[in-house]
Structures are given as structure tokens and as C-alpha cells.
Amino acid sequence: MEQRLNKFLSACGVGSRRKCEAFIIEGRITVNNVIVKELATKITDNDIVKFDDKVIMHEKKTYVLLNKPEGVVTTLNDPEGRKTVGEYFKKLPYIKPVGRLDMFSSGVLLLTNDGDLLYKLTHPKFQIPKVYKVTINRKIDNLISEKIKKGVRLDDGKIAKGEVLKIMTRNGRTEVILELREGINREIRRIFEILGFRVLKLDRTKFAGLGKGKLKEGEWRHLDPSEVEYLQNLLNQSEK
């Protein structure tokens, strides 16, 4: 049976259809070892499709949660030779990180080959909650909390908002539990830098309501069916 190449790639978790179209135009997709750049390309079950020279196949949908350590890059391949999250999942089907967690941050990271779920979990309109424990160099007061809630203008003009859920101070350092829903690049570090604080450690404790549980840094697990259903229900509610 024939189907559009971009539809096949998206169904296999490579990305949204628009993203897959961009990959085709960039020449990153081959069919039977021949680069294709025509968006109307159709394939059959007998064709061998590769993305960045890795074979792409229809796989059972896979959902995993990783407690990412610091120093690990949230990509599947890194041209600079740094350790990537992809190294943890070499024996699994092709899965992609849901969003980004910068190299110097740790914590909850979801990965999946469910292209539709991945797209929705990372799209700003769905307002997916993400909770972080931010360790900063000095005390924070309620005035700062209000500023973060109302919105902090970043250096590029974007407004970053969040809600401070809890503040804990000990040994001259302060831990702030902060919830975000936008997903601006390096948002938390930029917020606190503008407000005059230095982030010493950044750990994501929850993504879309899912926490790391007993997972140590570098450990991962498959999501339970009930957790996948929970994510799907969360997204359905956000669409209403």
C-alpha cells in the first residue's frame, strides 16, 4: 500500500508532518539509499526509508521516562562527541526527546515515537506544566515571586512567566520550586539572571504531571499504559 513519505515519517515519530517535510527538503531522507527532496514522494511497505542514515520502520509506540543527568545532551546524535540521551536507548525503537532539557540541567525527560503525542506535548498552545527545583545563590522574596508570576521580559523581548510553588533556604542557598508552561529556550536561567540571581543547579522534577519517582540519574523506565492514557486525556482537555 502506498502512502506519503511525510505521513510515514511522522507516524514513526520522526516529527510533525511539517517538520518531516523540512527534513525531506534538507536532503536528510533517503528511500532505497537515494536522497529524495520531493514532498509528494510516496512509498510502499517494500521501500527502505532512512533518516540521517538510520532505518525508519513502523514500530510499536514506545514511551519512556528518563532521569537525565547533568552533562548529557538532549539529542540523539552530537557532532561534538558529547554524551547524548540517545545512548541510553540503543536497543529500543527510534524514539525522540519530548522537548529539550539543556546539557547542564537534570531531571525528567520523556521520549517517544508517537509523533502526534510528541507534537502536542511540545506545542505552546497546550500549556503543558513543567515543574523545576531551582537552586540559586541567595534568598528570594515574595516580590521576586510576584515578578515571575506577572512575567519577566527577556533580552529578546519575550515575556517569561511562571509560578513559584515553594521556597526553601538553607546553608546560604535557596531552592525554588517553580512551574512553567511556555517552554522558552533556557527560560529559567534567563529569568533569574535578569532578576540578579545565579542558578547553581536546575532539576526538572515533573513533566506533564509525571515525576521521576525512584529513578536515579541515568535510569529510565517505560510508561505504564495508565500514564499514557493520562497524557492523552490531559491533551484532550487542553484542546477544549
Q: How many helices (H) and strands (E) does the chain have?
A: 6, 17
**Alpha-carbon dihedral angle through residues 22, 27, 29, 30, given to the nearest 10 degrees:** 150
Q: How far apart are CA 176 and CA 166, in angstroms?
A: 6
Among residues 47, 15, 10, the alpha carbon closest in space to that of 31 is found at: 47
Distances (CA, A) of 57 to 10, 30, 94, 101, 207: 11, 13, 8, 27, 28
Active-site annotation holds for 102: yes
- Residues 223 and 64 sit within 8 Å (Cβ to Cβ): yes
Which cell is 45 given? 511497505
User: What is the Cα–Cα distance from 212 to 106, expressed in whole angstroms?
Assistant: 11
| Alpha helices for 3-95 (secondary structure H) | 5-11, 17-25
Q: Which neighbouring-strand residues pair with 55?
A: 50
Catalytic residue selected from 102, 114, 141, 203: 102
Pick left, alpha or beta for residue 151 (phi over 0 → left; psi -120 to 50 → alpha; otherwise beta): left
Active site residues: 102
